[in-house]
Structure 1
Amino acid sequence: MTTAKTKQKILQTFLNLLAEHSYEHVSLPLIAESAKVKLSDMRGAYGSKLELVAAFAQLIDTKVLDERDEDMGDQPPRDRLFDILMSRIDALAEHKDAVRSLHMAARRDPALALDFNRLEARSQKWMLIAAGIEVSGLKGGVVAQGLAIAFSRVVDTWLNETDEGMPRTMAKLDKELDSGSSFMKRLNGIESVAKGVRSFLRKASKGRRRRSRHSADNFERDSDFGGEEPAGA
């Protein structure tokens, strides 16, 4: 069984290689050779490069969750989310060249972009939870997906920013969160309409069942089986 230390070594090697090569040219044998581990250990640790990307996303998630500012609890949800997502950018900073390589690969390969998007949406669910914004069910999935797309745009800006103060990145995040707030209002409106429609349909269905039972009772009273015998019987 591959040890945690070996898995960490393999993941770090993968990120180092991404900083120097394109995603397509970083093969599993190259990772194993560079990390000085056997292919069997490589297989035991990660079955694919996508699993390595998932492990990287989880690494960043863990760092953000561990370092979140508990004093932000009394701040508005939007401010808490802004703080969490900027913390995510800070956590990614150490691996900026690797992140750049992953983003370029996603642009070249739509199927790969979908795989990366799925991983990012899962991470963004945890970012929402870290910000104290818990949404569940279909709505939760929609919100996490929207946030994943928005954060990807923010990362694009961050990758091209040279100012350490990151004014352009923060401005982009502000803009995306403003758009997200408008989207949430529309989503809440749609959700309210949907609830009203579901309530109407339930009431209508109950009404139909009551009318159906009433008709059946009348039929039984008027039929040979439930009413008076026919004349002349």
Structure 2
Amino acid sequence: MVKKPTNPKSSKKSAGKKAAGKAGAKAAGEPRRQVIDAAFALALEQGWRDLSLAEIAEAAGLPLSEVYPLFPSKQAILDGFSREVDAQMLAEGSEGLDSPARDRLFDMVMRRFDALQPYKEALGVILQDQLRDPLAACCGLGRLGRSMAATLEAAGFSTTGCRGVLRVKGLAAIYLSTVRVWLRDDSEDMAATMAHLDKQLSRIDNLVGRLKSYRPGRDRSGHAAA
């Protein structure tokens, strides 16, 4: 008996649903987490641009009627994820304001990468797909601005007024530049990412004041100090 040829797209889609199903199962009882995990798992398997909210709901094991009030769009899912990363960054507290400004900012940005690390592959896929969608890219910039403002405020910098706007824009540019390095950084301690971030931060001294190179709070291996 001759077997029918397998449809590659169908197989990939099926694999994506299986991966998303596993992710959703781990977060059983937490609908928001189920949806976010399912969305990232599916993005990794079949891309982000053509992924529908209904597919994400199915993979999360939830009815669309329950998912829609939580996340009415894929952009809303990314917004929710971004807020979780912001909260995770802030939950660790902050360096005292008597520590060097550059140290505080460095530490906060690296906390963001620590929180993003488990989602690196899926985020790489999502970012590539969003670059091909101008509207999605614009939404992403708004989300980035809010996160960068939270990062600056946590590091002790005001984000109000013209100076605040410049700080947000400057940090956003540095962060995007560092993200590109991070996506290619295969080291466990994110050494290349840290080196690039440190170099880039030295270029915005005129926005955040006179800064020093000493970085408390992280040991030489790049891990946060206990």
Counterpart check, 1:6 vs 2:31: yes
| Cα deviations by residue, 1:17-69 (Å, 9 ceiling, x for unpaired) | 22323111321011011011111112111111111110010010000000134
Q: By how many angstroms is 1:121 displaced?
A: 0.8
Is there any run of 5+ residues in structure 2 with no aligned partner, and where?
Answer: 1-28, 210-226
Task: Please give the alpha-carbon distance, in whole angstroms, between the structure 1 residues aligned to 2:77 and 2:34.
Answer: 12
Is the contact between residue 121 and residue 147 of structure 1 (CA under 8 Å) also seen in structure 2? no
Q: Tell me the secondary structure at the aligned position of residue 45 of structure 2.
A: coil
What is residue 156 of structure 1 aligned with on the other side? 180
Taking only aligned residues, the RMSD between alpha carbons, in angstroms, comes to 1.8
The answer for the alignment partner of 2:141 in structure 1 is: 117
Percent identity between matched residues is: 33
Q: Indicate conservation of the 8 Å contact 2:130/2:137, yes or no.
A: yes
**Which blocks of at least 5 consecutive residues in structure 1 are unaligned?**
186-233
Once the two structures are superposed, what CA deviation does each residue of 1:4-24 show, in whole Å capped at 9, x if it has no partner? 822221122112222323111
Q: Say yes or no: does 1:171 pair with 2:214.
A: no
1:31 is aligned to 2:56 = yes
1:96 maps to which residue?
Answer: 120
Structure 1 111/179 Cα, relative in aligned 2: closer, same or farther at 3 Å? farther
Matches within 5 A, 1:1-233: 5-70=30-95, 72-183=96-207
More helix by share: 1
Q: TM-score, normalised by structure 1?
A: 0.72
Larger Rg: 1
- Equivalent residues, number: 181
The superposition leaves residues 102-128 of structure 1 with CA deviations (integer Å, 9 ceiling, x where unpaired) of: 221232223322211110110111101
Aligned-residue offset at 1:154: 0.4
Instruction: Give the TM-score normalised by the residue count of structure 2.
Output: 0.74
Gap change, CA 1:184 and 1:74, over 3 Å in 2: closer
**Per-residue CA shift, 1:126-150, capped at 9, x if unaligned?**
1011111123123322321221121
Query: What CA distance in whole angstroms lies between the structure 1 residues aligned with 2:45 and 2:204?
Result: 35
Q: Which amino acid aligns with 2:45?
A: E
- 1:124 counterpart SS class: helix
Q: Moved runs in structure 1, 4+ residues, more than 3 A?
A: 182-185
State the match for 2:7 in structure 1.
none
Amino acid at match of 1:60: V
- Relative to structure 1, is the Cα distance of residues 167 and 7 closer, same or farther in structure 2, using a 3 angstrom cutoff? closer
Q: Quote the Cα distance in structure 2 between the aligned partners of 1:180 and 1:112.
A: 28
Q: CA deviation at 1:176?
A: 1.6
The residue identity in structure 1 corresponding to 2:177 is R
